Amino acid sequence: MISSTPPRASSKSSLPSFATADSLTRRRALAVAGGSAAGLAFALSSAGVAHAGEGSVERDPFTLGVASGDPTPTSVLLWTRLAPEPVAIGSGLDPRRRYPVMWEVATDERFRRTVARGVAMATAEENFSVHVDVRGLQPGRPYWYRFRSGRHVSTVGRTQTTPSPRAAPHLRFAFASCMNYRAGYFQTMRDMAERDLDLILFLGDYLYEYPVQQLPVGRTIPSLPAEVLPMTTTLDQYRLRYALYKLDPDLQAAHHAAPWIVTWDDHEVSNDYETDAPDDLLRRAAAYRAYWENMPLRRPHRPRGSDARLYRRLAWGSMAQFDILDTRQYRDPMAGGSTTPDVGERRNPTRTVLGREQERWFAGSFGMTPVRWNFVGQQLLMARLNTAAAEGAPTTFSAGTWDGYQASQQRMFDVVSDGLDSGRVRNFCSLGGDVHTSYVSNLISDSLDPGSPLIGVDITSPSITSAQDFNPVANEARQVRRRMNPTLRWADLHCGYDICDVTAERAEFEVRVVDKVSVPDSPVYTGARFTVEDRVPGFAEG
pLDDT tens for the chain, 542 residues long, are 333 333 333 332 232 222 233 434 433 443 443 333 333 443 444 444 456 678 789 899 999 999 999 999 999 999 999 999 999 999 999 999 999 999 999 999 999 999 999 999 999 999 999 999 999 999 999 999 999 999 999 999 999 999 999 999 999 999 999 999 999 999 999 999 999 999 999 999 999 999 999 999 999 999 999 999 999 999 999 999 999 999 999 999 999 999 999 999 999 999 999 988 999 999 999 999 999 999 999 999 999 999 999 999 999 999 999 999 999 999 999 988 889 999 889 999 999 999 999 999 999 999 999 999 999 999 999 999 999 988 889 999 999 999 999 999 999 999 999 999 999 999 999 999 999 999 999 999 999 999 999 999 999 999 999 999 999 999 998 898 889 999 999 999 999 999 999 999 999 999 999 999 999 999 999 999 999 999 999 999 86
Q: How many CB atoms lie within 10 A of CB 7?
A: 12
Asked whether residue 131 is assigned to any structural domain, the reply reads no
Asked whether residue 541 is assigned to any structural domain, the reply reads no
Asked whether residue 406 is assigned to any structural domain, the reply reads yes
Q: How many CB atoms lie within 10 A of CB 370?
A: 12
- How far apart CA 491 and CA 470 sit, in angstroms, is 13
Asked whether residue 340 is assigned to any structural domain, the reply reads yes
Asked if 63 and 154 count as a contact pair (C-beta separation under 8 A), the reply is no
CA angle 366–402–400, rounded 5-degree value: 140
Residue 56 per-residue DSSP state: -
| Residue 306 phi, psi dihedral angles, 5° rounding | -95, 25
Residue 463 per-residue DSSP state: B
Asked whether residue 328 is assigned to any structural domain, the reply reads yes
Asked whether residue 355 is assigned to any structural domain, the reply reads yes
Number of domains in the chain: 1
Asked whether residue 514 is assigned to any structural domain, the reply reads yes
Q: Which domain holds residue 516?
A: 164-208+224-229+236-244+310-533
Asked whether residue 3 is assigned to any structural domain, the reply reads no
CATH number at residue 500: 3.60.21.70
How far lies 389's CA from each of 339, 386, 398, 496, in Å?
11, 9, 12, 25
**H-only helix segments in 369-405:** none
